[in-house]
């Protein structure tokens, strides 16, 4: 039969072993969490938005998702105002229009450095509203529409509510502005398209394209 002293030593040793195991487990969990966070930051998954295109130039009416790592009070989804600026806590009024997302990230990081130690900023263009196409003529809702999800000529006609009664569906065309200032006219025959002919004419629209439905 174990003496009281032996039993006390046994329970003390068991308690110490349990405490060491719990500390080891906690340390392992903390290390795993740190590694996961580092992977998220390096892979760009710290925010729910997808990686941005550094060639894109931000414009008026675009919606920006701005994430400052571990700073939820500063992280905001903001529109670019008509003056080209955004408002962000601590950073204040910041010119966004005319910058790429990467340039805006650097600008915001510089401004926030006065308040946050080594701020890590991610800027994602959540909604592109500054780039638009126009559709004119014999459609139900002529006007300017934002380019989203790579719309085609058919998509644009659907957005505009379809044709009016006397639309010349065989004589539609797209006016596209060239870098040198000239315009290219791209014909579009709706009657052929719905018969599965000349599918190449259903081009993807670019910013400032104008679709004319005579």
pLDDT tens column, 163-174: 999 999 999 999
Residue 41's alpha-carbon distances to 13, 38, 78, 166, in angstroms, are: 42, 5, 22, 56
What is the residue extent of each domain of the chain?
63-127, 132-213
Percent of the chain with pLDDT over 70: 75
Q: Is the backbone of residue 149 left (phi > 0), alpha (psi -120 to 50) or beta? A: left
Do 75 and 66 touch, CB atoms closer than 8 A?
yes
Residue 166 contacts residue 138 (beta carbons within 8 Å): yes
Q: Indicate whether 24 pLDDT > 90.
A: no
pTM for this one? Answer: 0.60
Distance from C-alpha of 141 to C-alpha of 157, rounded to nearest angstrom: 9
Cβ atoms within 10 Å, residue 77: 13
Q: Are 129 and 61 in contact (CB under 8 A)?
A: yes
More confident: 174 or 51: 174
Instruction: Give domain 63-127's CATH superfamily.
Output: wza like domain (3.30.1950.10)
For the record, the structure tokens of 14 come out as: 């068991």
Evaluate if residue 22 carries a pLDDT over 80: no
CATH topology of domain 132-213: Outer membrane lipoprotein wza fold like (3.10.560)
């Amino acid at each position: 039969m174990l003496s009281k002293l032996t039993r006390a030593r046994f329970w003390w040793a068991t308690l110490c072993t349990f405490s060491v195991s719990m500390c080891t487990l906690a340390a392992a969990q903390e290390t795993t969490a740190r590694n996961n966070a580092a992977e998220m930051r390096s892979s760009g998954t710290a925010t729910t938005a997808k990686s941005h295109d550094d060639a894109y130039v931000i414009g008026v009416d675009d919606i920006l998702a701005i994430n400052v790592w571990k700073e939820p009070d500063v992280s905001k989804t903001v529109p670019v105002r008509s003056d080209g600026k955004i408002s962000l806590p601590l950073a204040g009024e910041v010119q966004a229009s005319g910058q790429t997302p990467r340039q805006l990230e650097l600008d915001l990081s510089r401004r926030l450095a006065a308040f946050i130690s080594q701020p890590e900023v991610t800027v994602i263009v959540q909604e592109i509203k500054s780039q638009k196409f126009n559709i004119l003529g014999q459609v139900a809702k002529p006007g300017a529409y934002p380019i989203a999800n790579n719309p085609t000529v058919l998509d644009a006609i659907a957005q505009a509510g379809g044709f009016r009664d006397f639309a010349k569906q065989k004589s539609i065309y797209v006016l596209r502005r060239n870098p040198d200032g000239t315009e290219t006219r791209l014909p579009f025959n709706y009657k052929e398209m719905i018969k599965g002919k000349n599918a190449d004419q259903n081009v993807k629209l670019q910013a400032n394209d104008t679709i004319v439905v005579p």
